[in-house]
Amino acid sequence: MNTSFIDACRKKEPEHTPVWFMRQAGRYLPSYRKIKGDRPVISVAKDPEAASQVAVDAVAALGVDAGIIFADIMLPLEKMGVAFKIEENIGPIISNPIRNESDVDALRTIEPETDLEFVYSGIDLTLQKLDGLVPLIGFSGAPFTLAAYMIEGGPSRNLEMTKAFLYSQPDAWKTLMRKLTKMVECYLDYQVKHGVAAIQLFDSWVGCLSPGDYERFVLPYSRDIFSSIDRVPKIHFCADSSALLERFKETEPDVMSVDWRVPISQVWERCGDSIGVQGNLDPVLAMTGGKEMVKQSREILHQARDHPGYVFSLGHGVLKETPPENLRQLVQLVHRGTTSRT
C-alpha cells in the first residue's frame, strides 16, 4: 500500500508529497465518458460496478496517491424526500425546494445502510479492484452546503435565500441542520465501516458567510460530525475560505482543504503548524498547463516544504476541459520534487 496520503494526513513525514484531485473521475477522462455513455451522472453513482470502475480507472490513469469513491453529495437527499436532477454544466436542480418549517419537518429520516446500499456496495467493489494499491477516500456534503442546495433549488451565486432562511427562521434552520448532521454522521460512519481510509466533508459554498454567521449557524454542526468520526483522518473542504480559516479550523478536522484564494503558507501562519493542509492550485492552471502551471505548482510546494502534513491538490474540482496529460505531469512534478526529503 502506498501510505504517503495517510502519512501526510497524520503529519508523519511521507515518502513523497501525496497528490490526488477532487473530481479526478469525471468527464475530462475518456475512460469515464465511455462508461458513463448517455446516462446521467447519478445513474453511474447508483451502479456499483460502473462507479467502482470509474474511480479505479482515474487512479490508474493519473498515478495519484489516493482514490475517491464515485458518488455525489446529492445522493442522500432523494431518500429524505428531496427530488433532484443534475443538469449538465449547471449542477443540481431541486423540484421541491425547502422554504419553511413544515418543509423541514416533512424531511424523512433515512437509514443510509439500506437506503443508500449502492454507495456501500460501490465502496466494497472499489476496494476490491484497488487491491491495496492506494487508500480510498469517502465523502459527504456538509450540512450547510446540502441545506443551501435544498433551499435555493439550484446553483446560486450569493445564496441569498439560504441566508434569508437562517436569519428569518432560525428555529427551522436549527432543525434542518440537526437532521442533516445526523444523516451525514450515519452516512460517513458506514463508509468508514466499509473500509474507506479517510473522509472528506465538502462545505463547498459556505465561504459566502461572514465569520460570525459561520460560527453561529454552521460551526457546531460540522464540529459534531468530525467529533463523531475517530478512526480515520478527516479533511474539510471549503471554497473561498480565506475569511473563515480560523473558525473553519475550530471544526477540528485533521486537514483543511483550501482554494487558490489563500496562499497555502498563510493557513499555517493563521492556524498553527499542527494543522494539515490540502490544495490549492487553481483548476484553471491545471486546465491551461504549460510553464505557468509548473511555476505556480513549484511555488506551492516551496511554501509547503517544511510541513509533513501537506497534500497537493487543486483548489476545487478538475474542470472538464482539462487534458489528462496535465494532471499526470502534475503528479510527476510533485512526486519528483519531494521524494528527496526522506
Please report, as ranges, the residues that interact with ligand CP3 according to CB under 6 A: 22-27, 36, 41, 58, 68, 70, 72-74, 86, 88-89, 91-92, 139, 202, 204, 316-317
CB of 26 to ligand CP3, least distance (A): 4
CB of 284 to ligand CP3, least distance (A): 14
Which CA distances in Å does 332 have to 161, 298, 338? 44, 12, 10
Tell me the backbone φ, ψ of residue 256, rounded to 5 degrees: -100, 125
User: Which grid coordinates belong to 213?
Assistant: 454567521
The residue among 136 and 264 lying less far from ligand CP3, judged by its C-beta, is 136
What's the rounded Cα separation, in Å, for the pair 73 and 42? 10
Q: Do residues 316 and 239 make contact, with C-beta atoms less than 8 angstroms apart?
A: yes
Q: Return d(Cα 295, Cα 293) in angstroms, integer.
A: 6
Of 74 and 151, which CB lies nearer to ligand CP3 in the complex structure? 74
Q: Name which of 11 and 23 has its Cβ closer to ligand CP3.
A: 23
- Length reported for the chain: 342
Per-position DSSP letters for 208-233, written without gaps between them: GS-HHHHHHHTHHHHHHHHHT--SS-
In the complex, least distance from residue 283 CB atom to ligand CP3, rounded to whole angstroms: 10
Taking the least distance from each CB to ligand CP3, the nearer of 251 and 338 is 251
Q: C-beta of 218: minimal distance to ligand CP3 in Å?
A: 16
CB of 203 to ligand CP3, least distance (A): 9
Residue closer to ligand CP3, measured from CB, 20 or 268: 20
Q: Select 86 or 271, whichever has its Cβ closest to ligand CP3.
A: 86
| All cell numbers assigned to 317 | 474540482
Smallest separation, CB 342 to ligand CP3 (Å) = 29
User: Closest distance between ligand CP3 and the C-beta of residue 341, in Å?
Assistant: 28
By beta-carbon proximity to ligand CP3, the closer residue of 139 and 248 is 139
Largest Cα separation within the chain, whole Å, is: 59
Extract the C-alpha cell encoding 299. Answer: 511555488
Element (H, E) at 257: strand 255-257
CA 236, 63, 15, 4 dihedral sign is positive
Cell digits for 219? 460551526
In angstroms, what is the minimal distance from the CB of 200 to ligand CP3? 8
Per the listing, cell 473530481 goes with 23
Say if CB 180 and CB 149 are below 8 A apart.
no
By beta-carbon distance, which residue lies closest to ligand CP3? 204
The 3-state DSSP class for residue 293 equals helix
Nearer to ligand CP3, 317 or 337 (CB): 317
Nearer to ligand CP3 among residue 23 and residue 234 (C-beta): 23
DSSP label of 292:
H
Nearest distance from C-beta of residue 27 to ligand CP3, angstroms: 4
CA distances from 100 to 88, 103, 176, 184, 209 (A): 29, 5, 10, 21, 21
